[in-house]
Amino acid sequence: MSEQAVTIPGLAAMKARGQKIVVLTAYDASFARVLDEAGVDVILIGDSLGMVIQGQQTTLSAALDDMVYHSRCVARGASHALLLADLPFMSYPSPERAAENAARLIREGGAQMVKLEGGRCRTDIVRFLVSQNIPVCGHLGLLPQSIHHLGGYSVQGREAHAAQTLLEDALLLQEAGARLLVLECVPATLAEEVSRALEIPVIGIGAGPDCDGQVLVLHDMLGLSSGKRPRFVKDFLSEAGDIPSAIRAYVAAVRGGQFPAQEHSF
């Protein structure tokens, strides 16, 4: 692991030289320290905590106070990785509210970048946040905060029109100033097209091997989540024997292009 802290320009440089970006979620200082020591580039304090920490069926229960608290915990354990925090459900209904809540994640939670879901309908918010010096990561494809609207957790962008709309949304988010993009549960061919079209790094989860980096929920890749394991998840703990070794194996697999494999892609 490099002693130099990861920065947003540093992530762009990694994309430029073809180096895969490794992202994992964490929600407390102890796991953040393990991820940091393993060389994870970005730690995502995800609203997935609503499911894996709070035991809810969706991410919608995660409140802003929860996100600030867990971000603050992670910040105490990490010194190398860039800290990316989710803006939770209904915390960005307007540019002004988004800026106020993002400022809390940065000022109180120690985050260095915030993530929000949605495409062209969010460009005004992204543009305003960037104008206030708040770095933004977009999120397209499967949008967990829109789960009731979508009707379930399913692959997005299979149809030609939906794929074209997603590509256009990605370009619009980049034009608005987003510096990173997460693609969730989209066909691998579409994710590759988006990754090639964008100058900013694209991080995939269930989006095939050709994104600029990969992210998983920590509890999923350790085999700790309840219910059916998503197709795009691999249990790294079952082969590694202990948690630090499992995380190092994940880092090495993403860096070397071994993960995700075909069986983890759509």
Residues in a beta bridge with 181 = 138, 202
Model's pTM, two decimal places?
Answer: 0.97
- Classified as helix, coil or strand, 52 is helix
Q: Is residue 157 part of a domain?
A: yes
Cβ-based burial of 19 (10 A; exposed 0-12, middle 13-18, buried ≥19) = middle
The rounded distance, in Å, linking the Cα atoms of 241 and 56 is: 28
> Is 2 inside a domain boundary?
no
Domain presence at residue 165: yes
Q: Residue 176 has which token pair? A: 């608005």
- For residue 214, the domain's CATH number is 3.20.20.60
Is residue 1 in a domain?
A: no
Could you say which of 37, 184, 192, 263 is catalytic?
A: 184
**pLDDT tens-digit profile of 4-54?**
899 999 999 999 999 999 999 999 999 999 999 999 999 999 999 999 999
Query: Is 110 inside any structural domain?
Result: yes
Cβ contact 63:49 at 8 Å: no
The reply to whether 246 falls in a domain is: yes
Does 3 map to a domain? Answer: no
Range of the domain at 60: 8-264
The count of structural domains within the chain is: 1
CA-CA distance, 212 to 202, in Å (whole number)?
5
Q: Is residue 198 part of a domain?
A: yes
Question: 184 catalytic, yes or no?
Answer: yes
Q: Is 171 exposed, middle or buried (0-12, 13-18, 19+ CB in 10 A)?
A: middle
Give the model confidence (pLDDT) of 54-103 as tens digits: 999 999 999 999 999 999 999 999 999 999 999 999 999 999 999 999 99
